[in-house]
Chains A and B, each alone.
Chain A
Amino acid sequence: MRIPKKLINDPSKVAKEQLEGLIAANHGRIQAIGDKGAVCVNPLPSPQVAIVTGGGSGHEPMFAGYLGPGLATAAACGDIFAAPPPGVILDAAQAADQGKGVLFVYGNYAGDNMNFDIAAELADDEDIETQTIRIWDDVASAPLSKIKERRGVAGDLFVLKIAGAAAAQGKSLGQVTEITAHARDCTRSVGVALSAGSIPQTGKYNFELPDDELEYGMGLHGEPGVSREKMASADTVVEQLLDRIIEDLPFVAGDKVCLLINNLGSSTVMELLIANRKVHSYLESKNIEVHDTLIGSYCTSQEMAGYSISLLKLDDTLTPLYDAPCHSFALRK
């Protein structure tokens, strides 16, 4: 049986050590709050609504890779694939709050929902006002009629970008919340996996996928997707993925979108570019204009092979916010 190979130190310290590496890479622009996984930008921007994100580690550079001006203010990082505890989320919220309120923005998972909800109660005890936007962009994880059961995946990035830009403009907590919900509602993603990732502590692959098969809609933690099929050409796979996204929102002729082709872990840039070639030609054939293209590792699942495609449908509200400058480890505009 194949055994995962990772260059790590103590398997129980991977979440902590990757965060230390991320902090070092930010050259003082973000700092640890306590030693349990909370990080916050340094210094805080001029007083504005704080965008606090977070979730399980192991998806780097999501979430803490997106802290900085025009993006998120603070992040709470849990252990690998495990939501952060409420105290860590509260640490992040307290560090980020400037009296203008805190917007929690995170992926829709049972663990994250419960821990952020407890943190919201704890923040209320500290007189910190919070609002919550859960991101559910993965169209493969539940039917449209049950959209609130869908998971948050790489589309988190678009939602964080818009939230951060809205906050930076000095909008109120209510306004930032409303705009962020709108960005979430305009975002759709779906992924395809070719092989599994593994959690460092277990030293085992999270699932088995035969050599000649791929799986559509695989989740970021190896949650099963919608269908397993024989390996196919890149163009065929990209069409399948885009069809699922396009019909879901739906995206229609004349729409303008931002595109993210996200490496789930160990796919090659070559494959991502081949996917991008097809995405552009396919969207063009549907008369959908691509406003911006992001390609790379934005929200990963350890060494899972495969990629996800996310589209954000732009409008007069979202376009200037998307185009606004931002600076973080993993996204700069």
Chain B
Amino acid sequence: MINTAQTQALMLYVAKQVVASEPLLTEADLVIGDGDHGIGMERGFLAVIEMLEKEQLASVDKVFIKVGSTMMASMGGASGAIFGSFFRAGGKALKGTSDFDAKSLPVLIEAGLQSVMDRGGASPGDKTMIDAADMALQMSKTTSNESLESALSKVAEAAKQGVEATKSMIATTGKAKTLGERSLGHPDPGAITTAIIFKSMADFVKQGVAV
């Protein structure tokens, strides 16, 4: 498990990794969207970096809530509403938590995912970030008794499989939906971002900050 300060450091690391992934996300979105996903995520997580470097948050839930509200306030676009809702709702479900561990993961992801589905009206199978988050959720439920390092590494792998799965889906929502069958073969950019977020969490914990 990691404490509040470490969770804040974890999200700072995640933010930096997503920012560094901007070119990759832009490329992916140019193929099936309008090309602004990478720039939007960069804008949101740059604001998150600024916030996390300035503030000292009081609890684990506050870290995620503040990450979400910062993204929602700074990003715009579908991604701002979606990823902002994900972290805000996920954080609220962890209210009063001072340690982040493998048991916190399914709580965070489940509440976050539900909020995204309520907000955007999409479901698993619609070729969105939900597909990666849903795979991550299912895995996190089976790994909640493991160490955080072990759980995160499996959850990150599951999210990556979720990205792969979006390749064989037809977009039904967002700007990619008019591609119809032409969206086949291409992964969803929001799912890629989701996988990067979990991969970065796993890498951070694996690097020995805490287990």
B79 at the A interface (CB under 8 A): yes
If A115-B76, A224-B182 touch, whether A110 touches B39 (CB-CB below 8 Å) is: no
B185 at the A interface (CB under 8 A): no
If A79-B40, A110-B78, A224-B178 touch, whether A85 touches B72 (CB-CB below 8 Å) is: yes
B95 at the A interface (CB under 8 A): no
**Bound CA span A29–B78, Å:** 31
A56 at the B interface (CB under 8 A): yes
Of chain B, the residue at the smallest CB distance from A198 is B35
- Taking the closest CB of chain A, its distance from the CB of B185, in whole angstroms, is 14
If A83-B76, A199-B39 touch, whether A115 touches B179 (CB-CB below 8 Å) is: no
A219 at the B interface (CB under 8 A): yes
- The 0/1 profile, CB within 8 Å of B marked 1, for residues 74-106 of chain A is 000011111111111000000000000000000
Residues of A within 8 A of B77 (CB): 56, 78-79, 81-83, 111, 115
Q: Verify B120–A221 contact, CB threshold 8 A.
A: no
Of chain B, the residue at the smallest CB distance from A149 is B177
If A115-B80, A202-B39 touch, whether A219 touches B175 (CB-CB below 8 Å) is: yes
- Taking the closest CB of chain A, its distance from the CB of B126, in whole angstroms, is 11
**Bound CA span A225–B179, Å:** 8
- Taking the closest CB of chain A, its distance from the CB of B14, in whole angstroms, is 20
**Bound CA span A199–B42, Å:** 15
Residues of B within 8 A of A78 (CB): 76-77
- Taking the closest CB of chain B, its distance from the CB of A149, in whole angstroms, is 7
* In-complex Cβ contact of A84 among B33, B35, B76 (8 A): B76
A204 at the B interface (CB under 8 A): yes
**Bound CA span A184–B33, Å:** 26
Chain B positions 65-87 with a Cβ under 8 Å from a chain A Cβ: 72-82
Residues of B within 8 A of A149 (CB): 177
Q: Verify A206–B73 contact, CB threshold 8 A.
A: no
Interface size class of A (residues with CB under 8 A): 35 or more
Of chain B, the residue at the smallest CB distance from A86 is B72
B206 at the A interface (CB under 8 A): no
**Bound CA span A119–B34, Å:** 24
- The 0/1 profile, CB within 8 Å of A marked 1, for residues 19-56 of chain B is 00000001000100111101110010000000000000
Interface residues of chain B: helix, strand, loop or mixed (majority): helix
- The 0/1 profile, CB within 8 Å of A marked 1, for residues 155-182 of chain B is 0000000000000000001111111001
Residues of B within 8 A of A109 (CB): 78, 175
Of chain A, the residue at the smallest CB distance from B39 is A201
A141 at the B interface (CB under 8 A): yes
Residues of B within 8 A of A204 (CB): 26, 30, 35
Of chain A, the residue at the smallest CB distance from B46 is A12
- Taking the closest CB of chain A, its distance from the CB of B183, in whole angstroms, is 9
Number of interface residues of B (CB under 8 A): 31
Q: Verify A114–B34 contact, CB threshold 8 A.
A: no
* In-complex Cβ contact of B36 among A82, A117, A224 (8 A): A82
Q: Verify A223–B175 contact, CB threshold 8 A.
A: yes
* In-complex Cβ contact of B26 among A56, A82, A202, A219 (8 A): A202
If A81-B35, A111-B81, A221-B34 touch, whether A118 touches B72 (CB-CB below 8 Å) is: yes
A222 at the B interface (CB under 8 A): yes
Q: Verify B35–A118 contact, CB threshold 8 A.
A: no
- The 0/1 profile, CB within 8 Å of B marked 1, for residues 129-162 of chain A is 0000000000001100000010100000000000
Residues of A within 8 A of B76 (CB): 56, 78-79, 82-85, 88, 111, 115
Q: Verify A115–B34 contact, CB threshold 8 A.
A: no
**Bound CA span A82–B175, Å:** 11
Ordered nearest first, which 4 A-B pairs have the shortest CB separation?
A111-B78, A221-B34, A82-B77, A114-B81
B residues touching A (Cβ–Cβ < 8 Å)? 26, 30, 33-36, 38-40, 43, 72-82, 119-120, 173-179, 182
Q: List 20 A-B contacts (CB under 8 A).
A: A56-B36, A56-B76, A78-B76, A81-B34, A81-B36, A82-B75, A82-B77, A87-B73, A111-B76, A114-B82, A114-B120, A115-B81, A118-B81, A141-B178, A199-B34, A199-B35, A199-B39, A202-B30, A202-B35, A206-B34
Given contacts A82-B80, A111-B80, 16 further A-B contacts (CB under 8 A): A78-B77, A81-B34, A82-B39, A84-B76, A86-B73, A87-B73, A110-B175, A111-B76, A115-B76, A118-B81, A149-B177, A202-B35, A202-B38, A219-B175, A219-B178, A222-B34
